[in-house]
Amino acid sequence: MAASGRAVRSNSKTTGMNVDADIWKTKDKAPTKDRSVRLRVNPEQSNDYRVVVFGAGGVGKSSLVLRFVRGTFRDSYIPTIEDTYRQVISCNKQVCTLQITDTTGSHQFPAMQRLSISKGHAFILVYSITSRQSLEELKPIFEEIAEIKGTDIEGIPIMLVGNKCDEVNREVGTSEGAAIAKRWNCAHLETSAKTNYNVKELFQELLQLEKRRTMSLQLETKKTRSQKRKEKLRGKCSIM
């Protein structure tokens, strides 16, 4: 019963929703007001912060993200269709949505992969310490990021992550990972989604690398919810 209810909901997300602006038909009378807002609120400063996760199949991308967002290691059953997980965080003392996008399958469509890169604010490149091949496969991805971001890349948080560090049959040494990270001028960490080792730290460090704004996983807990909402609203108003 609960199951079918959920499925219907996820369906309504894609088909049954009411929208006020029809994007396809209003190409001439595109809401000018909306545009001006978009121009004034620099998109980089909008309330979404997009983290894009890359890595070969099986290295533990989903497990890491699920561990971080839901605090579990794939034991319980939670249906998903989305590629994006959201987490509320604080950014410049305001509430902001951390969007974590999994890129599984995107290698089939180079254009989709490039789109994720160009819209991403920060990147997590995951390999498994049990597979040298998985580290190799990150190289073309890093190069692609470097190319698309150009000179901006210096300000962009990138973490190279060796997952499954709980495993004993290791193929990639810690220092090897670190050496590559140094070459790419990015940070390096070993994690285990299974034992929950360094997972929160991974996201924390990533956000700390963001120098253009002050990001933190902690919301100021002293304030009540309604206070926060008010502040968020005020923040938005002042921008307009």
Partner 1 sequence: MDAKVEQILLQVKDKLGLGDDLLLCEVKSTGERIVLKENDLGITTSIGINSQLFVTPKEHLDALTPLPEQTCLSDGTFSTIEMFSSREMAYHMSLYDWELFTCVQEYELIYQVFGRYKFGKITCNLDLFLRRFNEIQFWIVTEMVLTSNLSKRVSLLRKFIKLAAHCKENRNLNCFFAIVMGLSNIAVSRLSLTWEKLPSKFKKMFADFETLMDPSRNHRVYRLSVAKMAPPIIPFMPLLMKDMTFTHEGNKTYFDGLVNFEKMHMIAQTLKTVRFCRSTPLDLEAPGTLKSADTSDYIRNIKVIDNQRLLTQLSHKLEPRRT
Residues engaged in binding ligand GDP (CB under 6 A): 55, 57-63, 74, 163-164, 166-167, 192-194
DSSP-assigned letters across all residues of 116-166: HHHH-SEEEEEEETT-HHHHHTHHHHHHHHHHHHGGGGGGS-EEEEEE-TT
Q: Which of 49, 54, 62, 116 touches Mg ion by CB under 5 A?
A: 62
**Sequence-ordered list of residues with C-beta below 8 angstroms from that of 153, at least 6 positions apart, any chain:** 145, 146
93 vs 119 by CB, closer to partner 1: 119
Cβ-based nearer residue to ligand GDP, 17 or 81: 81
Task: Indicate whether 115 belongs to the interface with partner 1 (CB under 8 A).
Answer: yes
Q: Which is nearer to ligand GDP, 99 or 192 (CB)?
A: 192
Q: SS3 for 163-193, per residue?
A: ECCCCCCCCCCHHHHHHHHHHHCCEEEECEC
Partner in contact with 59, chosen from Mg ion, ligand GDP, partner 1, none, beta carbon below 5 to 8 Å by kind: ligand GDP
Three-state DSSP at 96 gives strand
Q: In degrees rounded to 5, what are phi and psi of residue 79?
A: -70, 140
Residue type, 50: R
Q: What is the closest distance, in whole angstroms, from the C-beta atom of residue 59 to ligand GDP in the complex? A: 5
The helix or strand, by DSSP H or E, that contains position 98, with its residue range, turns out to be strand 94-102
Q: What is the largest CA-CA distance in the chain?
A: 61
Residue 72 interacts with partner 1 (CB under 8 A)?
no
Which residue ranges make up the site for Mg ion (CB under 5 A)? 62, 104
Which residue ranges make up the site for partner 1 (CB under 8 A)? 3-4, 6-7, 10-11, 13-17, 19, 22-24, 27, 30, 48, 50, 62, 77, 79-84, 99, 101-102, 104-106, 108-112, 114-116, 118-119, 140, 144, 147-148
